[in-house]
Amino acid sequence: MMQKINRPNLKFSPLQIVQISAVVFAILLTLILWIFFTEPLSQSLSPFWNDKLIDVLVFIPAVGAALAATLLTRQFEKEEIPYHIWQAFAIGLWFWVAGEISGMIYDAIYWDTVYPDLRLTDMFWLLGYFFLGLSLFYQLRLVYGAQNSKSRRLYLGLFTLALLITAWLTNLAEKAGLGEGSAWIILFITVLYPVFDLTEGATAIWLSFLFGRGQWSRPWLGLILFALSDSVNTFYWLGGYDFISIMAQDVLNFLSVASYPASYMVAGLALLSNYFILRYGEDSGLIKVTKQNR
Amino acid sequence: MRYFFREIEDIPFDNSPVSAEVYFRGANATGMIEKQFSADRVAVQFFISGVPGMAYLLDAGQSNSISLTDFSSLSDGVSHTRAINLPDVAGRLLLLALESQVTNRFTITTNGDWAEQINRWKQEQLNGLVEIKSQNLHGFALFWQGEPQKSDLIFSTLLGFVNNFPKLDSAWEAIVYSHPVVAQAYQCTVLRQGAVHWCHKVLTRYQEMVGQKLLQMMNRELNRQMQPWRWNIVIDENDMLETHFFPYIMDAAHAYRALFMAMGAQMNFVIGNNLTQKLLNETFEQIRPDERVSLQSQRLIPAAFSE
């Protein structure tokens, strides 16, 4: 039997909420860029507070995206396949929120001293990658129709393969003199980020091509932006900045600073739209419907 | 005397086909006018949603298509003229019977015999129409791949038309038909089966990909879009319930095209063009070859329904 869709009993319509959120995010993004490049608090207070203000502003869309993903997940029945996709996505984003919080705490403790080599923040980031990767894996498996109970084991196998490749790359990086003075495990974790970024970014791009202009492609765009942001950092870490002009460096810096919060914003808005579509259906105003006899 | 669907009350007229025609046209009703000559000679004209359809002369079990003018001019020897309303399913199955040939005729006397016969048809993967007659019963059941089709099963009983097999209370005469592939009614049947099966596979796969809620949303939209056409087609969960009487294959193809186009547009919005194309292609390959050929002959193909 057809279920009844809940009529929105909100002050603003779902469409308006999405539009308002988009405007708020655009303002936030502008503010983040302005604070990053002009450092207004660095002189009046300290660089620490300038940095923390950016962190707090980035934290807002990060929490928003994780919340939207959670709400979206709850729109599915547990036995439905999309439930598992969005559940893994939500868990991944919550781990990244935890990464943001722990990063702020570490800054508060160690800003003026030396940071510990192994940080809880890395664990949160990597767990986030694990679950976001799982989400991508579930989505690809669903698209290609390969349904079997061994899929989690297959994913763990692929994950282990990524770790082995990272270990091999770490040895190469060590021989090339990168990360001098750092322990092997620290270098390994540092290399792990671009490996995950590359894998998940490429998978997200592939999914975006598959979904084309479909509504369900949009959350994956957030992951692509995140990979773009991190790839600039990786390029910097590999010493790439030594070979490009100051102007090009500025462009890359701008791209990196803008795409990082934008990744949360794009994912958050897409997840919120999808949540509203599922929750309120045609009444969300987010899908086109025929008007007769409504 | 009555020949088809004897248990159904006649529409009260002055025994004139002209007033019956006025009624069908005015009410946009589906039904038939039956002119009885003798126990085994009868002429039938269909009205489909108020529009005069085809006419047939049935003589000693052999039916032949006749023109509407010929039907009108048949008056000598007519012992009784009657008009009855028909549900669309009854109309389309009767039309299929009139365009087909009897291949087997036998009597069923016990429930055991009937169950055995059903099993035999299942094993034989029967694709065809079965007519059943008894003292208080007349109707048709379409078997496809040996299974009776719920949406193509109708019997006239003393209680009116029913859409399931009635209880066997007296001996049943069963008539099995074979269908010439060129017969319009048979082509409509194969096309309908193809569209229904393809639609089921598309909806099932779409639900798998996006979940129950988005499927229901699409179903509501499809049903809304089909409403102005007044087709007896409803999308419910993963199924297309198609009970419309399309006398011509072009009419049926037009309806299915509209449905699949709306479906393609809805899926395109959610999962995008590439995945919609992929989904339509994969599911199209899963339907029976004869049904696929029938859909292809009407250009009802995956490429036509994604941008």
Query: Which residue, chain included where needed, has tokens 């259906």?
Result: A281
Measured distance CA(B132)–CA(B105) in Å, rounded? 10
Predicted interface score ipTM higher than 0.90:
no
Provide the shortest C-alpha distance from residue B210 to chain A (in Å): 6
Measured distance CA(B47)–CA(B86) in Å, rounded? 9
pLDDT tens digits for range A89-128: 999 999 999 999 999 999 999 988 888 888 899 999 999 9
Please state whether beta strands B31-38 and B41-48 pair in parallel, antiparallel, or not at all (unpaired). antiparallel
pTM: 0.89
**Among B residues 266-295, those touching chain A with beta carbons less than 8 Å apart:** 268-276, 278, 282
Compare CB distances from A210 to B227, B228, B274 and report the shortest one's residue. B274
Compare CB distances from A211 to B219, B228, B275 and report the shortest one's residue. B275
CA dihedral defined by B180, B181, B186, B190, rounded to 10 degrees? 150
- Amino acid (one-letter) located at B270: V
pLDDT tens digits for range B97-144: 999 999 999 999 999 999 999 999 999 999 999 999 998 899 999 999
Query: Which residue, chain included where needed, has tokens 């299942």?
Result: B122
Chain A residues lying within 8 Å of B217, measured CB to CB: 5, 277, 281-282, 287
pLDDT at A292: 52
For B4, the 3-state DSSP assignment is coil
pLDDT tens digits for range B16-48: 777 888 999 999 999 999 999 988 899 999 999
Question: Which residues of chain A approach chain B closer than 8 Å at the C-beta?
Answer: 2-3, 5, 75-77, 80-83, 142-143, 145, 209-217, 277-278, 281-282, 287-290, 292-294
Pairwise CB contact (< 8 Å): B220 & A292: no
Burial of B241 (0-12, 13-18, 19+ CB in 10 A): middle
Residue B298 · residue B305 · CB < 8 Å:
no
Measured distance CA(A68)–CA(A63) in Å, rounded? 8
Residues paired with A198 in a beta bridge: none
Pairwise CB contact (< 8 Å): A287 & B217: yes
In terms of Cα–Cα distance, which of B229, B91, B266, B191 is closest to A216?
Answer: B266
> What is the separation of C-alpha B205 from the centre of its chain, rounded to a whole number of angstroms?
26
Chain B residues lying within 8 Å of A142, measured CB to CB: 208-209
